[in-house]
Amino acid sequence: MTPRALAYLIFTLLLAGIFAGIIAYYFNRKRYDRVEAPKHRMLADDDPLPDPTGSRREG
């Protein structure tokens, strides 16, 4: 294998690895609630007078 082909291969594997890592991280069950929280909160953004401390509740 030429060094050039090897470089292409390593680069591709590296990207695939990072990609897999990101998926594994975010699709981990224990992060589910936190990662998915904003999609529920955005539905309530029409509250007439938002509670300024409300946003800190989940942190």
Interface with other proteins (CB under 8 A): 19, 22-23, 25-27, 31-32, 34-43, 45-46, 48-50, 52-56, 58-59
> Smallest distance, Å, CB 23 to other proteins?
6
> Smallest distance, Å, CB 6 to other proteins?
15
DSSP 1-54: --HHHHHHHHHHHHHHHHHHHHHHHHT-GGGHHHHHHHHHHGGGTT-SS--TTG
> Smallest distance, Å, CB 46 to other proteins?
5
For tokens 């082909």, the residue is 5
